[in-house]
Each structure stands twice: as C-alpha cells, then as structure tokens.
Amino acid sequence: MVLYAFLCIAAAVFIGGLGVRIWAYAATPVPLRIPVTPAPLTRSGVVMRLFWEVVLFRSLFNASKWTWLFGWAFHATLLFVLLTHLRYFVQPAWMWLGLVQDLGGYAGLAMVAALVALAGRRLFVPRISAVTAPSDYLALALLIAIGLSGLAMKFVFHTDIVAVKAFALGLVYLDPQPLPLDPFLIIHLSLVAVLLVVFPFSKLLHGAALFFNPTRNQPDDLRESRYAPRITRNGVPAARSDTA
C-alpha cells in the first residue's frame, strides 16, 4: 500500500508539474518574430511543420541519421509499449488493444535496444560525452531499468496480471487494491513512480518545448500582418501604436 500511495502522489506531481511547466511556457512572452526559415507562411502551415517534427522528427532526420534512428525508434516503441499498458486501465479492454498486445513484447525489446544504443552513443562519441552530465546517463539508466524489469515479467517471471489490472483500476478509481508481491513488479512500478516525479522538472519534458519554441511555431507572415506583442524583448513598450 506504500507503493499505492507513492504512485498516486507521483501521478499527481506529474500532472501538476506538467501543468505548471506548460503554463509557464505559455505565459512567457515572445517579443519578436524569429521563425527559422524557410518557414510556412500560414498558421496551418505551422501545424503541418510541427506535425512532421512530432511524428517523424524531421529536423533530426536531416541533421543526424544515427541519432534519428535510435531516438525515433525509442519514441515510437515507447508509444507502442504505453498502448499495451492501456489495457490495465480500461475495463473492458478495447478490441484493438489485443492486437497491440501481441506485438508489445517485441516493441519492448526494440525500445530497450534503442535506449542502449543511445547510451552507447553518449558514452563513446566524444562530442556527445563532452556535453553529457551525470543526470543524462541517469535518465537513460532509469528508462532502461524500467524497460528491463517490464520485459523480465513479460518473458521470464510472469506475474499475476489479473491482480495487476485490479490494482491499476484501483489507481484510476482511487480504490486501493492489493498488489502481487513480485519483486520485478515492485521494482518496475517504483521506477515508474520516480520517472513520473522527475519528468516534468527535467529535460524529459522536451516534447513541450517543440510546441512552444517560437523558432518553429511562428508563421513567416511579417509583411502581411504587423507583429505587435505586448512588450518587446527588454520589456520596453512596443513603440508608438500597440495595435496589431
């Protein structure tokens, strides 16, 4: 039940932290138009630009193929793995979750492989290790440990997933249920709780930056409409008329 409480707190910190951080980004002004060009000319063009960045990591693909391969593979398989976990939280489980489930194991293996590759890059490419701090390795280690403990249960030390599902639904409905005392499960869930707490306050939140960065989310329409935010970069009022 300690773990139940810890997970509840972690989830609350995760959601609250995410909210606070995203609010902080949204509330920070953008004093000037600074899109990296060539940039789309319209808002809908910006939506497409961000769409391809989110779905295919387009800039990263153009910049560094290996980093893209490992990074994209990790995120794509992570999404897959998260979907397989959905079935612990919905009752009755949706039909298509069964299909996802069949491939979940392979996705998990691929995810850990991608993480190991990213760690290898960080360790052995001098340019990258030169900009790496201990917390960067720790984030990778945390994700790898979560992945490995999950895979251990999937392939070797099977756990009582009916009881796990009861526990998970108990989290959703705030109705504590007992958890099988299985060491891999406890490790797995404890690390997930740690991840949830750390996520909003670390570089792991980088996804939000993608949507908020003016270099990518501003359209290039400066000669068509005057950009007149409330304040300029230094907080001096925009000159003369403030009307856009």
Partner 1 sequence: MAVTLGFDASKAGQGDPQELPALRPGAMAASKSYPASSAQQQLLGFPGELVDQWQIKAIAKLGELVQRSRALKVALDACVKCGACTDKCQFFLGSGDPKNMPAARQELLRKVYRRYFTWAGKHMPWLVGAEDLTEATLDEWYIYFHQCSQCRRCAVACPFGIDTAEVSMAAREIMDSIGKGQRYCNEIIGKVLTIGNNLGLKKHALAATLEGLEEEIKEETGVDVKLPLDVEGADILLVAPSADFFAEPHIASLIGYGKVLHEAGLSWTFSSHASEAGNFGMFIGSSENMQRVLERVGDAVRALKVKRLVVGECGHAWRVAYNFWNTLAGPYETLDPAYPIPQHICELTYDLWRAGKLRFDKSKNDHIRLTYHDSCNPARASRIGPDPGSQFEIPRALLRATCNHFYDMAPGTIRENTFCCGGGGGLLTDELMEVRLRGAQPRMRALRDVADEHGVTHMAMICAICKAQFTTVLPQFGFESDGVVGVHQMISNAIVLTGSVQAQEYEARLASAGNGDVAAGGKR
Taking the least distance from each CB to partner 1, the nearer of 31 and 105 is 31
Residues 184-243 that bind partner 1 (CB under 8 A): 201-203, 205-206, 208-210, 212-216, 220, 222-223, 226-229, 231-236, 238-241
Answer yes or no: are the C-beta atoms of 49 and 236 closer than 8 Å.
no
| Using rule CB under 8 A, residue 22 touches partner 1 | no
Q: How many chain residues are in contact with partner 1, going by CB under 8 A?
A: 68
Q: Which of 16, 19, 29, 176 binds partner 1 (CB under 8 A)?
A: 29
Residue span binding partner 1 (CB under 8 A) among the ranges 57-65, 104-112, 147-155, 188-196: 57-65
Answer yes or no: are the C-beta atoms of 226 and 220 closer than 8 Å.
no
Q: Which of 10, 46, 53, 150 binds partner 1 (CB under 8 A)?
A: 53
- In this structure, the dihedral spanned by the alpha carbons of residues 141, 142, 143 and 148, taken in order and rounded to 10 degrees, is 80
Here the tokens at position 119 are: 């760690």
Residue span binding partner 1 (CB under 8 A) among the ranges 8-16, 23-31, 97-105, 157-165: 23-31
Answer yes or no: are the C-beta atoms of 28 and 208 closer than 8 Å.
no
Cα–Cα dist 197/10, whole Å: 5
Cα–Cα dist 78/112, whole Å: 9
- Name the helix (H) or strand (E) containing 152: helix 134-155
Q: Which of 136, 144, 154, 170 binds partner 1 (CB under 8 A)?
A: 136
Tokens 């249960």 map to which residue? 153
Taking the least distance from each CB to partner 1, the nearer of 54 and 82 is 54
| Using rule CB under 8 A, residue 63 touches partner 1 | yes
Transcribe 220-233 into DSSP letters. Answer: S-TTTS----SB-T
| Using rule CB under 8 A, residue 44 touches partner 1 | no
In the complex, the smallest distance separating the C-beta of residue 227 from partner 1, rounded to whole angstroms, is 5
Cα–Cα dist 124/114, whole Å: 15
Cα–Cα dist 148/60, whole Å: 27
Q: Which residues bind partner 1 (CB under 8 A)?
A: 24-25, 28-34, 36-41, 53, 57, 59-60, 62-64, 67, 71, 121-122, 125-128, 130-136, 138, 201-203, 205-206, 208-210, 212-216, 220, 222-223, 226-229, 231-236, 238-241
